[in-house]
A and B are shown apart, each in its own frame.
Chain A
Amino acid sequence: MMRALTWQGTHDVRVDSVPDPEIVNPRDAILKVTSTAICGSDLHLYDGVIPGVIPGDILGHEFMGEVVETGKDSTLKKGQRVVVPFTISCGGCFHCKIQQYSACENSNPAEKQDMSATLYGHPMSALFGYSHLTGGYSGGQAEYARVPFSDVGPIVVPDHLDDDQVLFLSDILPTGWMGAENAEIQPDDTVAVWGCGPVGLFAVQSALIMGASKVIAIDHYPHRLELAKQLGAEVINFKTTDVREALMEMSGGIGVDAVIDAVGMESHGFAVDNMLDMVKQKVGMGADRASALKQAILAVRAGGRVSIPGVYGGMTDKFPLGALMEKGLKVNSGQTHVQKYTKPLLDKIEDGTIDTTFLISHRLPLEEAARGYKNFREQQDSWTKVVLKPGTQKEQAA
């Protein structure tokens, strides 16, 4: 038996004893998890706004660890340290071959594809620990995890880099990077980023590396805005400032060239439509709150680009479709094609271009995962990123 963080219901997650995972398919590997993070995406599960989660499901899609067992077709070796992409991808289908890994056709079990196919027109590929819509795979917030397609997903990391430096290759670093890439940044661009959570902050960092002349970060938490500032962004607090007017002024009256929505379906704010959507979400009518995205679409200049790494799961009301069309905007979105970015980003970590450790505010033992969820949700300002350390007993200093 092992310990694992399980979902029991809205705002109810618990560390339980469950049977150890085993090698099931030839390409599998089993990891002993050494570090695993709680993500903003996990909060959508925690808040009960993602369908298809079953009590007892093991959460966690950001994890790394040591290989302890390999299937006969795995290319990994026991003892290797690897970081695991949250997207489960086979490497051999049409989408994997064109590096659209998060659209892999083969990772979501056949019998689980119908639900998302009905919702979206096509089945989703599989993700770790993220509902049965995306396969129902157990996640990595556990002592051990089964990793399918271990010959194409996990990236081996060198010993001189410690967990905290590389863990975020599993999701948020590539997600911030792809968020910036999807903004198609040109050298003189001004780029605005909604949300200064982990994804937004890495999008800020990436946009600057890609040569944006100015990056403007928007949130309402002072500490998170401060982190954005330290990365080199100018910041706007949407609670005290009229965001659209500010962006027009800060971009010389043109409007920002590209916008990045790193907030997703649970945006905060008091716009009338957002309040309405919040009520609907609460009573289970399932409209995604999209106030940040709506604001972004109005703020971007004509002919500009809209990048949406923030997660949405269903429908949204009162979407400014006219602005999208009349201004001739280009939209890029999607779950991150993590496998495409792990190697180039690992290189950037190794050569010192990117540091990810500034983000971590708390390091907790796995046993305290529930406290991590609660505080990451309720004290967002100071709890910027929680890393769980299975095998440790005490909270470590951040």
Chain B
Amino acid sequence: MKPNRQIGIAGTVAAAGVALGAAAFGAFLSRRHDGGGDDAPQFARRSNHGDHALVGRTVTIRKPAAELYAFWRDFSNLPQFMENVESIAEQGGARSRATWTIKAPGGTTVELRTEIVGETENERIAWASVEGSDIETRGEVTFTPAPGDRGTRVSLHIEYDAPGGAVGRAIAKAFQREPEVQARHDLKRFKMLMETGEIATSARRKSETRAAKQQENA
């Protein structure tokens, strides 16, 4: 189990397999605040995260948790602010299976299949990849009321690994080199969308937005 440096994450969970992974993930989430002698989340630690490398970020959004939760829980909304995600089709079912179509270089796409592995209304949604997915990943978003009228603290944690070989490298690229950067930007875009109803762009023309340019390159 050696860390996949190429996309900057460790591959423990991936190697452990999906079924085992879900359990391990639960354990790791509950450990997020353990150790280190301070109250910072684990992903902010200077030292490594044991076997787990994490992508994690928090933003405060001036909206009630219920509203943000509801928007996120409808996975088909996520492509509006997740730049790499072309679409998400929900198959439904007890665990809300969904298929994410993710942009890869050269106009290709890869598929991520997930199901919900834990949720608490208005507080938390956790998902994990299932068999047949091109990418192994788990993610969790939490919604915690911020003090006073500051809204809600939204934290996103994503852990994933891609298969090796050409496809793996393509996926790593599709995630734009730095999963951490991508997650951070996506979360900022989520905040923009929720607080302002749009996503900021300095493009002077519709054809010059990032989305339009990505289409062009695809």
Among A20, A90, A110, A126, find the residue whose CB has the most chain B CB atoms closer than 10 A. A110
Among A97, A105, A112, A138, find the residue whose CB has the most chain B CB atoms closer than 10 A. A105
Contact of A107 (CB < 8 Å), options: B150, B184, B200, B204: B200
Contact of A113 (CB < 8 Å), options: B188, B196, B205, B210: B188
Give the dominant DSSP class at A's interface.
Answer: loop
Query: Please, which residues of chain A bring their CB within 8 A of the CB of B186?
Result: 110
The complex places the Cα of A79 from the Cα of B84 at a distance, in Å, of 40
Report the nearest B residue to A88, measured CB to CB.
B200
A106 in contact with B202 (CB, 8 Å): no
Query: Please, which residues of chain A bring their CB within 8 A of the CB of B192?
Result: 90, 106, 110
Q: Taking the complex as formed, is A47 at the interface, i.e. its CB lies under 8 A from any CB of chain B?
A: no
Q: How far is the CB of A198 from chain B (nearest CB, A)?
A: 26
The complex places the Cα of A210 from the Cα of B209 at a distance, in Å, of 45
A138 in contact with B196 (CB, 8 Å): no
B195 in contact with A92 (CB, 8 Å): yes
Q: Taking the complex as formed, is B113 at the interface, i.e. its CB lies under 8 A from any CB of chain A?
A: no
B185 in contact with A110 (CB, 8 Å): yes
Query: Please, which residues of chain A bring their CB within 8 A of the CB of B202?
Result: 109, 112, 126, 135-138
The complex places the Cα of A135 from the Cα of B203 at a distance, in Å, of 10
Q: How far is the CB of A300 from chain B (nearest CB, A)?
A: 35
Q: Mark A9-37, 1 if CB is under 8 A from B, else 0.
A: 00000000001111011110000000000
The complex places the Cα of A26 from the Cα of B196 at a distance, in Å, of 10
Q: Taking the complex as formed, is A111 at the interface, i.e. its CB lies under 8 A from any CB of chain B?
A: yes
The complex places the Cα of A24 from the Cα of B185 at a distance, in Å, of 20
Contact of A106 (CB < 8 Å), options: B181, B195, B204: B195
Q: How far is the CB of B113 from chain A (nearest CB, A)?
A: 27
Report the nearest B residue to A125, measured CB to CB.
B200
Query: Please, which residues of chain B bring their CB within 8 A of the CB of A93?
Result: 62, 191, 195-196
Q: How many residues of A contact B (CB 8 A)?
A: 33
Report the nearest B residue to A30, measured CB to CB.
B204
Chain A 215-261 interface residues, beta-carbon cutoff 8 Å to B: none
Report the nearest B residue to A18, measured CB to CB.
B204
Among A26, A94, A107, A108, find the residue whose CB has the most chain B CB atoms closer than 10 A. A94
Q: How far is the CB of A69 from chain B (nearest CB, A)?
A: 13
18 other contacts beyond A22-B206, A110-B184, A111-B185, with CB at 8 A cut-off?
A19-B204, A21-B205, A22-B204, A24-B201, A24-B209, A25-B200, A26-B198, A90-B195, A90-B200, A91-B196, A93-B196, A94-B150, A106-B195, A110-B188, A110-B189, A110-B200, A112-B202, A136-B202
The 23 sampled A-B contact pairs (Cβ below 8 Å) are: A20-B205, A22-B205, A22-B206, A24-B201, A24-B204, A24-B205, A26-B197, A27-B196, A90-B195, A90-B196, A91-B196, A93-B191, A93-B195, A93-B196, A105-B195, A106-B191, A106-B192, A106-B196, A109-B201, A110-B189, A110-B199, A113-B188, A135-B202
The interface of chain B, by Cβ under 8 A from chain A, is 60, 62, 150-151, 181, 184-186, 188-189, 191-192, 195-206, 209-210
